[in-house]
Amino acid sequence: MVRHKKYYGLRLRSLFLWHRYLGLAAAAFVATLAVSGALINYSDDLQLSKRHVQTEWLLNWYGIATPSVTAGYPAGTHWIAQVGERIYFDAREIEDATGPLHGATQLADKVVVAAGDQLLLLTPQGEAIDRLDSAEGIPDAVQAVGVAQGNIVLHTPHGDYQGDDQFLVWRTNPNDTSRVQWTAATSLPDALRRTLVQQYRGAGVTWERLLLDMHSGRLFGATGRTTMSIAAVFMLLLAISGVWHFFQRRRR
């Protein structure tokens, strides 16, 4: 009987040690799951889907490269620049505007931006007024933007087109085409360039996505998913060993 009790005690102690080691091994994963899970539950309240990661090493981890942006088009006291596929008015992205950026200028009370196959009309403060494309008579394949006699001129492979003051009628080969003042890309101020790069990279990953990736282990790729799966097994064994240990102690 004594020998049996001694063997039983050693087995129980061994189980307790394994329970402790499993707990230590799973502690970091439990903390990660608990914190990320709690924050995900309040994602809407914290607006995590609208907040973007700005931490440089995290963006590097996600492979979001620093875009090349050195030049833009001055429009009055403002700048129009392209970063990646996005078009910016100063440091604010122009909604639904994608490149390539062909040119921009301020004309009277409007800022005119040629991007992709569209002509964007903005207020001097960058607010959208109108968006024109081929359906409104905008010439195809615009390559450059200029100004002649107070009207916009668009350069295309098929010739130059000058619009009226309402951007409704476009005539080819204006008589004063040699006097067109074409817009040209100019080096951006360093402060604006740095801000644009930071905003572009920061718009790539939301905090909600980061937390979801941490919670599932996807943040570390296939290895992370496997590790979190193993951690889940550890936690299951931890629960089983804990329950077993509890009932074994009660039997004693």
CA distance linking residue 106 with residue 74, whole number of Å? 8
Strands in 181-182's sheet, in edge-to-edge order, are: 170-172, 159-163, 151-156, 144-148, 181-182
Indicate if 237 and 177 belong to the same structural domain: no
Contacts of residue 78, Cβ cutoff 8 Å, sequence gap at least 6: 89, 90, 106, 111, 124, 126
Is residue 211 situated within a structural domain?
Answer: yes
- Confidence check: pLDDT of 19 > 60: no
Indicate if 35 and 120 belong to the same structural domain: no
Global pTM reads 0.59
Indicate if 194 and 213 belong to the same structural domain: no
Indicate the number of domains in the chain: 2
192 C-beta neighbours (distance < 10 Å), count: 17
Is residue 56 situated within a structural domain?
Answer: no
Is residue 104 situated within a structural domain?
Answer: yes
Helix pair 207-216, 221-251: axis angle to 10 deg: 60
Q: What's the chain's Rg over C-alpha atoms?
A: 31
CA distance linking residue 55 with residue 185, whole number of Å? 30
Indicate if 148 and 237 belong to the same structural domain: no
Is residue 214 situated within a structural domain?
Answer: yes
Is residue 172 situated within a structural domain?
Answer: yes
Indicate if 76 and 167 belong to the same structural domain: yes
CA distances from 196 to 13, 83, 205 (A): 61, 7, 16
Indicate if 17 and 93 belong to the same structural domain: no
pLDDT tens-digit readout, 190-236: 999 888 888 777 777 888 888 888 777 777 766 766 766 776 776 67
Is residue 220 situated within a structural domain?
Answer: yes
pLDDT tens-digit readout, 62-113: 777 777 787 899 998 999 999 888 899 999 989 888 879 999 999 888 999 9
pLDDT tens-digit readout, 130-182: 999 888 888 889 999 999 888 899 999 988 999 888 888 888 866 566 688 89
Is residue 64 situated within a structural domain?
Answer: no
Indicate if 127 and 81 belong to the same structural domain: yes
Indicate if 136 and 94 belong to the same structural domain: yes
Indicate if 12 and 111 belong to the same structural domain: no
40 C-beta neighbours (distance < 10 Å), count: 16
CA distance linking residue 220 with residue 16, whole number of Å? 32
122 C-beta neighbours (distance < 10 Å), count: 23
Indicate if 20 and 93 belong to the same structural domain: no
pLDDT confidence of residue 21: 60
Residues in the chain: 252
Query: Could you tell me the residue range of the domain that residue 231 belongs to?
Result: 2-51+206-251
CA angle (49 as vertex; 64, 37 as ends), nearest 5: 100
pLDDT confidence of residue 95: 86
